């Protein structure tokens, strides 16, 4: 068990020399770290002494074991950024000829590996292989470079680069470049050879439309002894072809770019942006229209006839080279774990991460027993912190994630054969998901917390608020999870969504309020949707103090017909509509008739709804039970129910017609002070002892001293159960006092 050190500016050649973070020469940089091998129990201290980490994704090369994890603690406040600093002096910003205060970034010639910008006629890096003449021309794709010009002497020709020693043996890479033919003949091919001219890989490149620059990719893996690569291009054409922008990227994805050895690429998103992110002074810029950018907007294109696309920024403070502004563009993910177990990451911050799939801030695949704790993840293009396919028994604890392009926190499996299991999200804060603006209009979903194909996991003691969609989403066959003691509020749809077959989950002892969708689509504090069965909702405080939606509910169950709400239990909740929710509980399949089959509603307090407290569209009421609830409707209707037509029923007529609500109350429940969030019962409340024994699984109610999310206290119901989410601290005394009062009146005692 050894300890090693990383600094952003580290120069130590290997881990053995990385003995301290006191100086660059005694610390590894990220590239050296990624190539090392570590032992179970090792500690790799990530120091902030060398400044911000950027330019290379930190990839964990080794795994730990049970009881001996490999640990990555932060020293100081280390920040890992997935972005380039485009104002660090490496790049030039020039004023655009069109658009007031618009500047474009001169990206530089270093992005092209095989070129010689100094001598146009030099072909030192390239060799003609068959029937052609080659030279450097001026039809460049990259600013500052000179494109390789191939002039055929026959219909077939080929060119090959000299070897570049930029690769490691037995490693996956992708080569890419741009080609611009001047005809439309087919049969172009790209080859990769090693330093000894042995073919490693080949691909048909097709043939792009004449006159257009088109990007070509080829994935390959180097052999055991390979140290260099040569790129070979051949084509069937009898007209001039231009080649430019050659790069080699580590990995097998066009969106994963790193600096390695001689390779110093700029952000590929600036060339082929996809969903590129641009930041000014650490705030994401909004995409705009070139030539008409507003202050602090950005765009992508070629408004100055450069011959290639580049980034444009409107900055009213002046030229970014001299204004003091810091402009950054996302390049790579921040921290990556693949097929490594028992990794502990503690006290790091991830920003501006960029990558495919779930990659952004922190991402792990195929990992067991790993932990991310005391970390922050902000402004990443995909997820903030994500454990993706193949992960089991992992933990995200005491982290803060915000302003990420998709979900702030996620656990996700992959269908039936690779489900996520046994995870924990605890004591985390998630807010403002999916707020980034990117150039091409692409959008991800944006939940505060998301579980997908995830079973038997725990979500507890978290804040999730002001997210673009739900506070938490349990999606696609997410089963057997326990969601408790969280605070979900002010999200731009539901507080909690259980959807697409999410089954047998428990949602209890949460505080859920003011989750409001801004349009009139159905929305709720808790939504159970699309074949999500046998879920249990109990001992929650759920309320509204506002709405901007005409279809707003506290608990909404629906969609997909005969199994939509099967087996749902709604026990012992406070459901206060505040005069804004249409219904406290609604079962509604829309055009598809839903069902209340197996639905049980007991021991709840339902009040202050705009319409009837309960509205049920159902083709079947088999197993439906509704009783021991308190409705404060002053003799009005408590429920509408039916299929196609929905007659209303008072408490008395509901019992007389269907035998339901026999023991329910229609009265003021006398809550302590609901306008100020005090939803427990007064000592004289008629709801004290008015409930039914629901069994030991539901016996723990809330104590009135509870605070969310980390100060929730519970107290068990006694022989006589209170209605609502709280168990009165004076419950037994209040019950006995009421009993003695009744006895005294009966016997004339004083």
SS (H, E, C) 24-57: HHHCECHHHHHHCCCCCCCEEEEECCCCCECCCC
Instruction: Name which residue leads in pLDDT, 141 or 19.
Output: 19
For residue 285, name the pLDDT band (cuts at 50, 70, 90): confident
Quote the CA–CA distance of 643 and 518 in Å, as a whole number.
29
Q: What's the pLDDT score for residue 300?
A: 75
User: Picking from 124-128, 259-263, 470-474, 546-550, which range would have the lowest pLDDT averaged per residue?
Assistant: 259-263
Asked if the model's pLDDT at residue 444 lies above 70, the reply is no
**Average confidence (pLDDT) over 479-498:** 96
Q: Tell me: the pLDDT tens digits for 317-328? A: 999 989 999 998
CB 361 within 8 A of CB 81: no
**Average confidence (pLDDT) over 37-62:** 96
User: Any bridge partners for residue 639, and if so which?
Assistant: 614, 649
Token duo for residue 187: 């049969």
Share of the chain above pLDDT 90, in %: 53
For residue 551, name the pLDDT band (cuts at 50, 70, 90): confident
Asked if the model's pLDDT at residue 224 lies above 70, the reply is yes
Q: What's the pLDDT score for residue 510?
A: 98
φ, ψ of residue 296 to 5 degrees: the values are 65, 30
DSSP 268-314: GGGTS-TT--EEETTEEPEE--TTSPPTTEEEEE-TT--SS-EEEEE
Quote the CA–CA distance of 12 and 24 in Å, as a whole number.
7
Asked if the model's pLDDT at residue 439 lies above 70, the reply is no
Q: Tell me: the pLDDT tens digits for 354-371? A: 765 557 899 999 999 999
For residue 679, name the pLDDT band (cuts at 50, 70, 90): very high
Asked if the model's pLDDT at residue 268 lies above 50, the reply is no
Give the predicted TM-score (pTM) of the model: 0.78
CA angle 172, 177, 179 (to 5 degrees): 145
Q: What's the pLDDT score for residue 509?
A: 98
CB 360 within 8 A of CB 334: yes
Choose the most confident range, by mean pLDDT, from 133-142, 276-285, 368-377.
368-377
User: Any bridge partners for residue 396, and if so which?
Assistant: 372, 425
Q: What's the pLDDT score for residue 460?
A: 98
Q: How far is CA 395 from the centre of its chain?
A: 16
Q: Tell me: the pLDDT tens digits for 373-431? A: 999 999 988 889 999 988 999 999 999 999 998 899 999 987 666 788 999 999 999 99
Instruction: Name which residue leads in pLDDT, 145 or 78.
Output: 78
**Average confidence (pLDDT) over 704-715:** 97
Instruction: Name which residue leads in pLDDT, 185 or 470.
Output: 470
CB 576 within 8 A of CB 610: no
Q: What's the pLDDT score for residue 272?
A: 37
**Average confidence (pLDDT) over 204-228:** 71
Residue with tokens 């146009």: 120
- Per DSSP, helices labelled H in 326-375 are none
CB 188 within 8 A of CB 207: yes
Instruction: Name which residue leads in pLDDT, 481 or 197.
Output: 481
CA angle 47, 64, 174 (to 5 degrees): 75
**Average confidence (pLDDT) over 161-176:** 77
CB 602 within 8 A of CB 627: yes
Instruction: Name which residue leads in pLDDT, 49 or 380.
Output: 49
Quote the CA–CA distance of 474 and 451 in Å, as a whole number.
5
Asked if the model's pLDDT at residue 441 lies above 60, the reply is no
Q: What's the pLDDT score for residue 681?
A: 98
Q: What's the pLDDT score for residue 91?
A: 74
Q: What's the pLDDT score for residue 405?
A: 84
For residue 438, name the pLDDT band (cuts at 50, 70, 90): very low
Q: What's the pLDDT score for residue 117?
A: 43
Q: What's the pLDDT score for residue 748?
A: 54
DSSP 735: H
**Average confidence (pLDDT) over 38-67:** 96
Asked if the model's pLDDT at residue 113 lies above 80, the reply is no
Token duo for residue 635: 């003799």
Q: What's the pLDDT score for residue 416?
A: 63
HSE of 124, CA atoms in CB hemisphere, 13 A: 9
Q: What's the pLDDT score for residue 682?
A: 97
Choose the most confident range, by mean pLDDT, from 285-294, 394-403, 517-526, 611-620.
394-403
Q: What's the pLDDT score for residue 750?
A: 42
Q: Exposed/middle/buried for 749, CB within 10 Å: 0-12, 13-18, 19+?
A: exposed
Instruction: Name which residue leads in pLDDT, 750 or 341.
Output: 341
Quote the CA–CA distance of 468 and 435 in Å, as a whole number.
7
Q: Tell me: the pLDDT tens digits for 618-661? A: 888 889 999 999 999 999 999 999 988 999 999 999 999 999 99
Quote the CA–CA distance of 350 and 378 in Å, as a whole number.
6
Q: What's the pLDDT score for residue 265?
A: 30
**Average confidence (pLDDT) over 589-612:** 88
Which residues fall within 8 angstroms of residue 104, CB to CB, at 6 or more apart?
Answer: 93, 94, 96, 303, 304, 306, 310, 311, 312, 313
User: Picking from 258-267, 568-577, 690-699, which range would have the lowest pLDDT averaged per residue?
Assistant: 258-267
Asked if the model's pLDDT at residue 735 lies above 50, the reply is no
Choose the most confident range, by mean pLDDT, from 78-92, 193-207, 237-251, 704-718.
704-718
Asked if the model's pLDDT at residue 741 lies above 70, the reply is no
Which residues fall within 8 angstroms of residue 408, CB to CB, at 6 or more apart?
Answer: 377, 383, 384, 385, 401, 402, 430, 431, 433, 447, 448, 449, 467
- Per DSSP, helices labelled H in 110-193 are none
Q: What's the pLDDT score for residue 255?
A: 37
For residue 549, name the pLDDT band (cuts at 50, 70, 90): confident
DSSP 531: S
CB 555 within 8 A of CB 568: no
Q: What's the pLDDT score for residue 143?
A: 47
DSSP 585-598: EEE--TTS----TT
User: Picking from 426-430, 522-526, 697-701, which range would have the lowest pLDDT averaged per residue?
Assistant: 522-526
Quote the CA–CA distance of 236 and 33 in Å, as a whole number.
45
Coil, strand, or helix at residue 676?
A: helix
φ, ψ of residue 6 to 5 degrees: the values are -120, 135
CB 422 within 8 A of CB 391: no
Quote the CA–CA distance of 318 and 160 in Å, as a whole number.
45
Share of the chain above pLDDT 70, in %: 83
Q: What's the pLDDT score for residue 209?
A: 56
In 10 A of CB 742, how many CB atoms? Answer: 10
Average pLDDT, the chain: 85
**Average confidence (pLDDT) over 460-469:** 96
Q: What's the pLDDT score for residue 49?
A: 98
């Amino acid at each position: 068990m050894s300890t090693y050190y990383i600094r952003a500016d580290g120069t130590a050649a290997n881990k053995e020399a990385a003995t301290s973070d006191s100086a660059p020469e005694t610390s590894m940089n990220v590239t050296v770290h990624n190539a090392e091998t570590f032992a179970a129990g090792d500690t790799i201290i990530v120091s902030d002494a060398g400044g911000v980490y950027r330019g290379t994704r930190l990839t964990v090369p080794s795994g730990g074991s049970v009881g001996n994890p490999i640990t990555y603690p932060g020293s100081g406040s280390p920040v890992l950024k997935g972005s380039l600093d485009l104002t660090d002096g490496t790049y030039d910003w020039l004023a655009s000829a069109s658009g007031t205060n618009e500047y474009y970034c001169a990206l530089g010639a270093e992005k092209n590996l095989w070129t010689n910008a100094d001598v146009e006629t030099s072909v030192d890096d390239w060799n003609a292989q068959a029937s052609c003449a080659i030279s450097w021309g001026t039809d460049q794709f990259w600013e500052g470079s000179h494109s390789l010009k191939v002039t055929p002497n026959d219909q077939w020709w080929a060119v090959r680069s000299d070897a570049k020693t930029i690769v490691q043996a037995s490693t996956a890479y992708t080569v890419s470049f741009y080609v611009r033919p001047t005809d439309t003949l087919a049969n172009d091919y790209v080859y990769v050879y090693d330093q000894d001219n042995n073919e490693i890989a080949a691909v048909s490149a097709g043939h792009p439309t004449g006159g257009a620059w088109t990007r070509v990719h080829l994935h390959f893996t180097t052999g055991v002894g390979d140290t260099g690569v040569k790129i070979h291009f051949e084509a069937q054409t009898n007209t001039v072809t231009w080649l430019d922008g050659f790069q080699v990227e580590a990995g097998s994805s066009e969106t994963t770019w790193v600096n390695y050895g001689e390779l110093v690429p700029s952000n590929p998103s600036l060339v082929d942006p996809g969903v590129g992110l641009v930041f000014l002074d650490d705030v994401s810029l909004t995409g705009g229209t070139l030539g008409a950018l507003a202050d602090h907007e950005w765009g992508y294109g070629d408004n100055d006839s450069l011959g290639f696309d580049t980034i444009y920024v409107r900055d009213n403070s002046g030229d970014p080279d001299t204004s003091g502004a810091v402009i950054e563009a996302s390049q790579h993910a921040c921290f990556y774990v693949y097929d490594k177990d028992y990794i502990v990451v503690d006290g790091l911050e991830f920003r501006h991460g960029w990558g495919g799939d779930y990659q952004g801030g922190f991402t792990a695949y195929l990992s067991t027993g790993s932990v991310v704790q005391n970390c922050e993840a902000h402004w990443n293009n995909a997820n903030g912190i994500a454990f993706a396919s193949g992960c089991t028994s992992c933990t995200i604890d005491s982290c803060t994630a915000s302003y990420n392009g998709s979900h702030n926190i996620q656990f996700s499996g992959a269908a039936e054969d690779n489900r996520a299991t046994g995870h924990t999200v605890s004591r985390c804060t998630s807010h403002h998901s999916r707020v980034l603006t990117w150039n091409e209009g692409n959008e991800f979903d944006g939940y505060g917390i998301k579980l997908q194909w995830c079973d038997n996991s725990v979500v507890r003691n978290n804040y999730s608020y002001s997210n673009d969609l739900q506070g938490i989403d349990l999606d696609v066959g997410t089963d057997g999870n326990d969601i408790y003691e969280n605070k979900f509020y002010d999200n731009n749809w539901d507080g909690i969504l259980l959807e697409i077959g999410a089954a047998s989950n428990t949602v209890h002892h949460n505080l859920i309020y003011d989750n409001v969708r801004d349009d009139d689509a159905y929305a709720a504090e808790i939504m159970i949707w699309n074949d999500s069965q046998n879920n249990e909702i109990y001992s929650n405080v759920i309320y509204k103090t506002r709405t901007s939606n005409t279809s707003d509910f506290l608990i909404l169950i629906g969609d997909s017909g005969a199994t939509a709400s099967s087996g749902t239990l709604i026990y012992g909740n406070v459901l206060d509509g505040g005069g804004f929710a249409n219904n406290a509980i609604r079962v509604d399949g829309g055009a598809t008739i839903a069902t209340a089959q197996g639905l049980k509603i007991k021991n709840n307090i339902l009040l202050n709804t705009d319409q009837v407290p309960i509205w049920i569209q159902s083709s079947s009421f088999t197993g439906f039970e509704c009783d021991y609830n308190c409705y404060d409707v002053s003799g009005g209707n408590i429920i509408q129910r039916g299929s196609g037509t929905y007659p209303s029923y008072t408490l008395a007529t509901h019992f007389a017609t269907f035998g339901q609500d026999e023991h329910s109350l229609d009265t003021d429940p006398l809550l302590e002070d609901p306008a100020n969030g005090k939803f427990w019962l007064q000592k004289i409340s008629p709801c004290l002892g008015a409930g039914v024994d629901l069994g030991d699984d539901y016996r723990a109610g809330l104590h009135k001293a509870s605070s969310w999310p980390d100060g929730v206290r519970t107290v068990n119901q006694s022989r006589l159960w209170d209605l609502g989410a709280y168990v009165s601290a004076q419950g037994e005394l209040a019950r006995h006092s009421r009993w003695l009062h009744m006895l005294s009146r009966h016997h004339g005692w004083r």
